[in-house]
């Protein structure tokens, strides 16, 4: 039984059969009629050639339209997926790999590609790559001024640029002869606001691989990436302000309370214990009055850094406000934590710290409470720890 042919292949078969028929008719005419039929046969063969040329152009146009349709579909998918990754995924390296993988699916003629991130030192390093060796990626440290994009633009980096074989003849590259040879590169800057954040490259060793349409596609995608990265930066900045105290780097009071609720709920469900600690920086007011608030801030930061050493990965610590800190030590015993914190306090007292232009001995007082022995609510635990903190500050420990 013959397989049912696809209409496209059936049409091509019928077209070829028709062309062979025309060619056969022209040859038969030449054989039977002779020289008198040469003009007619010539017209038939010329028409056949013109028909084939037209069909070839139509086929190329069809293929171009099909490729354009494929790219548009992939770009639509890419915009949705990449923006989703940028906004929802915390793994920034995964985001960069996703961007590069989608671009390679659109530009399948690229041999290598990269997303380079500009560091504070003015050097570009790999954030994601395709086609490069691990050794090359790990050792890559390129000054911005030595990049393809910087050299072809003279440092006036604004939009996506097509770097051609002619450009490569006049610029210098860090690649050794025979290591990586490029003839056609699309290079796109990535900005966050007005700040140059990095560079996206799609490379090919074949001249003429990319054209103006390809540059336009990458430029549109670059704009989408920048919008997503800017939104991410603002979002993470807002989250960080909510989560992290700007001075000490500890959790904010509000975020600590959110985390404490989770810890308390888990302890109740799983019958676990933890130690809650309250801290008060000694003599902060007198330091502010005598040396100024900048010295007071230095004092708070130094004590916060010392207390941070008391925390494990499972513990949480935050700043309540002013000179007060709070911490929860998961699955800890009060006697063990008392000894540990006393050791930190003792070491801090024996090592003077510069506050402004003066050396001062720093210290802190603390009070501990344990769940569930001293209470099963936040208020009860804080009240118990606060009483013991007051006894230490009063010297009645």
314 and 350: one domain? Answer: yes
Residue 308 belongs to some domain of the structure? yes
Q: What is the mean pLDDT of residues 285-306?
A: 90
91 and 235: one domain? Answer: yes
99 and 188: one domain? Answer: yes
List, in sequence order, every residue forming a beta bridge with 325; answer none if it has no partner.
Answer: 279, 319
Out of 186, 215, 241, a domain closes at: 241
Structural domain for 110, as ranges: 71-241
Q: Residue 247 pLDDT more than 70?
A: yes
138 and 174: one domain? Answer: yes
272 and 346: one domain? Answer: yes
Residue 109 belongs to some domain of the structure? yes
203 and 328: one domain? Answer: no
Q: What is the mean pLDDT of residues 147-162?
A: 92
Q: Residue 121 pLDDT more than 50?
A: yes
302 contact partners, CB below 8 Å, separation of at least 6: 348, 353, 362
Residue 33 belongs to some domain of the structure? no
Residue 1 belongs to some domain of the structure? no
Give the whole-angstrom CA distance, residue 301 versus residue 362. Answer: 11
Out of 219, 241, 263, a domain closes at: 241
284 and 216: one domain? Answer: no
Range with the lowest mean pLDDT among 82-96, 142-156, 220-234, 334-348? 82-96
pLDDT digits (tens, 9 = 90+) for 70-85: 666 666 665 566 656 6
Residue 38 belongs to some domain of the structure? no
Which residue's entry shows tokens 């056969």? 24
Instruction: Say what percent of the chain tops pLDDT 90.
Output: 42
Residue 46 belongs to some domain of the structure? no
pLDDT score for 359? 86
Residue 295 belongs to domain with CATH number: 3.30.70.270
280 and 226: one domain? Answer: no
pLDDT score for 238? 75
Q: Residue 236 pLDDT more than 90?
A: no
Residues 66-69: contacts with CB under 8 Å, at least 24 apart = none
DSSP string, 75-108: HHHHHHHHHHHHHH-S-HHHHHHHHHHHHHHH-T
Residue 78 belongs to domain with CATH number: 3.30.450.40
Average pLDDT, the chain: 82
211 and 348: one domain? Answer: no
SS3 state of residue 291? helix
Would you place residue 94 in the very low, low, confident or very high pLDDT band (cuts 50, 70, 90)?
confident
Would you place residue 115 in the very low, low, confident or very high pLDDT band (cuts 50, 70, 90)?
very high
Q: Residue 290 pLDDT more than 70?
A: yes
| Number of separate domains in the chain | 2
Between vectors from CA 296 to CA 295 and to CA 302, what angle results, nearest 5°?
90
Give the whole-angstrom CA distance, residue 26 versus residue 43. Answer: 9
pTM of the model as a whole = 0.53
Would you place residue 26 in the very low, low, confident or very high pLDDT band (cuts 50, 70, 90)?
low
Residue 292 belongs to some domain of the structure? yes
C-alpha pair distances (Å), 243 with each of 210, 305, 316: 46, 17, 12
Q: What is the mean pLDDT of residues 44-48?
A: 61
pLDDT score for 56? 64
Burial class of 71 by CB neighbour count within 10 A (0 to 12, 13 to 18, 19+)? middle
Range with the lowest mean pLDDT among 139-153, 174-188, 287-301? 174-188
Residue 138: alpha-carbon gap to chain centroid: 18
Would you say 275 and 337 are in contact if contact means Cβ atoms under 8 Å apart? yes
- Sign of the C-alpha dihedral, residues 353, 337, 367, 257? positive
217 and 130: one domain? Answer: yes
Give the whole-angstrom CA distance, residue 265 versus residue 290. Answer: 44
pLDDT score for 397? 47
Residue 20 belongs to some domain of the structure? no
Q: What is the mean pLDDT of residues 213-232?
A: 81
pLDDT score for 241? 80
102 and 223: one domain? Answer: yes
Q: Residue 378 pLDDT more than 90?
A: yes
Q: Residue 200 pLDDT more than 70?
A: yes
Which residue's entry shows tokens 């939009």? 159
Q: Residue 237 pLDDT more than 80?
A: no
Out of 208, 241, 274, a domain closes at: 241
Q: What is the mean pLDDT of residues 339-359?
A: 90
379 and 293: one domain? Answer: yes
């Amino acid at each position: 039984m013959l397989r049912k042919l696809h209409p496209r292949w059936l049409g091509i078969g019928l077209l070829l059969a028709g062309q062979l028929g025309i060619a056969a008719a022209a040859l038969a005419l030449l054989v039977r009629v002779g020289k008198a039929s040469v003009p007619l046969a010539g017209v038939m063969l010329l028409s056949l050639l013109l028909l084939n040329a037209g069909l070839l152009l139509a086929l190329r146009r069809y293929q171009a339209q099909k490729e354009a349709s494929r790219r548009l579909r992939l770009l639509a998918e890419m915009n949705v997926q990449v923006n989703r990754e940028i906004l929802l995924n915390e793994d920034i390296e995964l985001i960069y790999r996703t961007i590069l993988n989608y671009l390679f699916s659109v530009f399948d003629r690229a041999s290598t590609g990269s997303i380079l991130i500009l560091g504070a030192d003015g050097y570009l390093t790999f954030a994601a790559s395709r086609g490069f060796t691990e050794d090359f990626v790990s050792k890559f440290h390129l000054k911005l001024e030595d990049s393809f994009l910087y050299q072809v633009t003279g440092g006036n980096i604004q939009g996506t640029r097509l770097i051609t074989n002619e450009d490569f003849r006049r610029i210098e590259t860090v690649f050794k002869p025979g290591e990586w040879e490029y003839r056609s590169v699309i290079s796109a800057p990535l900005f966050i606001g007005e700040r140059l954040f990095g560079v996206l490259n799609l490379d090919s060793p074949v001249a003429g691989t990319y054209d103006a349409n390809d540059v336009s596609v990458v430029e549109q995608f670059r704009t989408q990436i920048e919008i997503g990265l800017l939104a991410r930066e603002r979002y993470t900045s807002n989250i960080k302000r909510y989560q992290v105290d700007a001075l000490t780097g500890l959790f904010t009071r509000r975020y600590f309370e959110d985390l404490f609720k989770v810890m308390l709920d888990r302890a109740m469900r799983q019958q676990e214990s933890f130690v809650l600690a309250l801290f008060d920086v000694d003599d902060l007011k007198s330091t502010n009055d005598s040396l100024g608030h900048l010295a007071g801030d230095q004092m708070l930061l130094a004590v916060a850094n010392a207390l941070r050493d008391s925390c494990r990965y499972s513990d949480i610590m935050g700043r309540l406000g002013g000179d007060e800190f709070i911490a929860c030590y998961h699955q800890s015993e009060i006697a063990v934590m008392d000894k540990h914190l006393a050791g930190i306090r003792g070491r801090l007292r024996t090592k003077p710290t510069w506050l402004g232009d003066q050396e001062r001995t720093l210290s802190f007082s603390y009070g501990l409470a344990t769940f569930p022995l001293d209470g099963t609510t936040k208020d009860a635990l804080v009240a118990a720890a606060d009483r013991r903190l007051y006894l230490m500050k009063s010297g009645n420990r």
